[in-house]
Amino acid sequence: MPTTTNYSITLPTVGGSKNTWGTTLSAALQSIENEVYTVDQVLGEASDSSTPSLAYNLTQASTNASTAASDAADAIAIAAKQVNTVLTGLTTTLSNLETTVGSVSGGTGLAADADDAATDAAAALTAAQAALASV
């Protein structure tokens, strides 16, 4: 008698199972039902948290993965806001420092004062060296 490829379920022989096809077909259906029941027992119910079933564990894993993805997106958004806040503060501080220090070529601020002091010190050094040389 012919059988199915994967589960070897006996099939009625076309034209050759006279008076036995009903028994063969009933056995085949019972075999299919047994295979489905076995798979159902392995998977279990998604709501079965007491055992817990494979279906329940898969459902929980899916829920946990979804929560983790949401948490990661929230963490990225918070980190981006923090970086933005720090960069904004740094930009403001640098702008204030630039205003305070000023520019040598602009003639204002600490940079110009430091440049003037260096020029005055160099002139004083030259004058002191000239005075010492004449002694």
Q: Collapse the DSSP code of 61 into the 3-class scheme (helix H, G, I; strand E, B; otherwise coil) and give the result.
A: helix
Residues of the chain with pLDDT > 70, as a percent, come to: 93
**pLDDT tens figures, 40-61:** 888 888 888 887 888 899 999 9
* Greatest CA separation for the chain: 142
Picking from 57, 39, 40, the residue whose alpha carbon sits closest to that of residue 48 is: 57
**Mean confidence (pLDDT) of the chain:** 86
- 3-class SS letters over 76-111: HHHHHHHHHHHHHHHHHHHHHHHHHHCECCCCEHHH
What pLDDT score does 104 carry? 64
Using a cut of 0.85, tell me whether the model's pTM lies above it.
Answer: no
Q: Of the given ranges (24-28, 74-78, 79-83, 104-108), which has the lowest mean pLDDT?
A: 104-108
Give dist(CA 53, CA 36) in Å, integer.
16
Interval 70-75 mean pLDDT: 96
pLDDT-based confidence at residue 76 (cuts at 50, 70, 90): very high
DSSP reduced 3-state for 1:
coil
Per-residue pLDDT at 107: 66
Contact 2, 11 (CB under 8 A): yes
What does the domain layout of the chain look like in residue ranges? 1-43
More confident residue, 1 or 87: 87
Question: Distance (Å, rounded) from C-alpha 89 to C-alpha 67?
Answer: 33
Handedness of CA 25, 28, 30, 32 (dihedral sign): negative
Q: What is the pLDDT of residues 86-114, one digit of tens each?
A: 999 999 888 887 777 766 666 667 777 88
Q: Are 5 and 11 in contact (CB under 8 A)?
A: no
**Is residue 129's pLDDT more than 90?**
no
